[in-house]
Chain A
């Protein structure tokens, strides 16, 4: 079974600086999807970024980018120019591309604090 590990329960960053959140996963599959979700205090789950495993190019969305290392099974999230509104729980998630494995497997999350 696939597992997702976020080794940093909590992280903090100064406003306007850069922070990287770590995520590793375990799978025997070659094709899959990886996601970062943000959960602010409102509890809403918001998609931050998505990466297809067959794509070598790292996904980017404005200030958010990933470092996808397929061989190392690593999928870290970099937040540049951190803003107070980035403070939230961040969840890394894995999804198989095979039929019959429809669920998202989540890590336990990293709580990000942004200091003014």
Chain B
């Protein structure tokens, strides 16, 4: 089944404790992206990747890092999480930047 997977689905952590949210797709998509969703703000892009080893900032990249060492994986790294990073995070992928993006199931992150 073609899908985008994220892990973990739920995470409660404390300020300053490094964490990684994994994202994997099995569709051989070149383009991958991370979004965060906050009430009243819709979804905002954090980072995106056009292909392996090619990443760039979206609208709200502060406090986040990404890497794209393999085509299928695009982890989101929070080196020192803060409470303002409490949010619902989505990973998405598409065949190319112009194609429809398919979303993962979301990761609910709470930073205390």
Which residues in A have some Cβ–Cβ distance to B below 8 Å? 4, 33, 35, 37, 42-47, 50, 91, 93, 95, 97, 99, 102-104, 106-109
Contacts and interface: CB of A to CB of B under 8 A. Distances in A.
Q: Name the 5 nearest CB pairs between A and B, nearest first.
A: A45-B103, A106-B42, A102-B97, A103-B45, A106-B43
Of A37, A44, A103, most B-chain CB atoms within 10 Å: A103
Contact of A108 (B33, B41, B105): B41
Contacts of B48: 102-103
B75 interface: no
A33 B33 contact: no
A108 to B, nearest CB: 4
Contacts of B97: 99, 102
B1 interface: no
B102 A109 contact: no
A108 B45 CA distance: 13
B42 A47 contact: no
17 contacts: A43-B105, A43-B106, A43-B108, A44-B103, A44-B105, A45-B103, A46-B103, A47-B100, A47-B102, A91-B42, A95-B98, A102-B33, A103-B33, A103-B58, A104-B45, A106-B42, A107-B42
